[in-house]
Amino acid sequence: MTRICSLVPSATEIVADLGLAGSLVGRSQECDWPDTVLDLPVVAAARIDTSALTSLEVDEAVRAAVAEGRSLYAVDEELIRSLAPDVIVTQDLCEVCAVSSRELRGVASLGAEVISLDARTIDGIAESVTALAARLGVPERGEAVVGELRETIEEVSGLVAGAARRRVFVAEWLEPPYAAGHWVPEMVAIAGGEDVLGQPGEASFRTSWAEALEGGPELVVLAPCGLDAAQAAREARGLDLPCRAVAVDALAYYSRPAPRIAGGIRQLAFLLHPERAPDPGLPWIDVG
């Protein structure tokens, strides 16, 4: 059995989707799905405790750490060594989201293979699944997981075909607001919408509410990275928007480049075109 240590939640989810959750021997603090991984040793954790901070305070703390060259994550090298993984999975896409491969230099002598998953698009997510599946010896399962994602995309595309595209602003952070990037604008497009600021495959970027609203969104989707719907709704208190706004579970269905974005695509189609697409039953809160 290949012993796997995952330092990024999306990788943990992919490993589980491949039927290999039992091969995981260590996880990051943020790896929280499926529930079975919660009993695994935590080998990496964020240095900033965001539980009592506002969106603005989190943004300021992260910016200060990055400007000073301080790592946002603490890696327990000794614990990793004791777990003796064959493979360590991490990412280099976002230094804010998880441990990067460059932060693993101290455990290089382990001899473990370090795999970096850096999907920027939906195709990139599919490629991450198939590549990891091939490396872990379950290529057929990888093809099946990707096939399920593709089927959802095809189904949703069919449901909204011919519908007028609704203008949307997806907020990846709330204060300051960030326009969503990477795979999220693609999700919006598949669901029959048009993101007024975000660009497919490109990084999210800081903006202002004034700029976002200049694009004339009919719907604002509050999907702050790493927060669930209830947390997003709390953070949205005080926002005065001229259009409908809903908070969604970005943590599970939007932020992570993993197959569960299929659920986010279904939800977006329902929020944009409820007359055509059914409610998939995922958490969302109408905040105005």
Residues 132 and 223 in one domain: no
Residues 6+ apart with CB under 8 A from 201: 120, 121, 181, 182, 183, 186
Which residue intervals of the chain are DSSP H helices? 9-17, 55-67, 77-83, 122-135, 139-160, 184-190, 209-214, 229-235, 250-253, 261-272
> Region 159-183: what's the mean pLDDT?
96
pLDDT at 1 (0 to 100)? 80
Domain residue limits at 53: 4-143
Residue at 71 is within a domain: yes
- What integer best gives the mean pLDDT of the chain? 90
pLDDT at 59 (0 to 100)? 63
Question: Which of 143, 174, 196 is the C-terminal boundary of a domain?
Answer: 143
pLDDT at 76 (0 to 100)? 87
More confident residue, 211 or 50: 211
Residues 79 and 139 in one domain: yes
pLDDT tier for residue 108 given thresholds of 50, 70 and 90? low
Strand partners, 205: 179
Residues 196 and 249 in one domain: yes
pLDDT at 153 (0 to 100)? 98
> Tell me, what CATH number does 276's domain have?
3.40.50.1980
> Region 266-280: what's the mean pLDDT?
98
pLDDT tier for residue 50 given thresholds of 50, 70 and 90? low
pLDDT at 75 (0 to 100)? 85
pLDDT in tens, 204-241: 999 999 999 999 999 999 999 989 999 999 999 889 89
Residue count of the chain, please give it: 288
The total of structural domains in the chain comes to 2
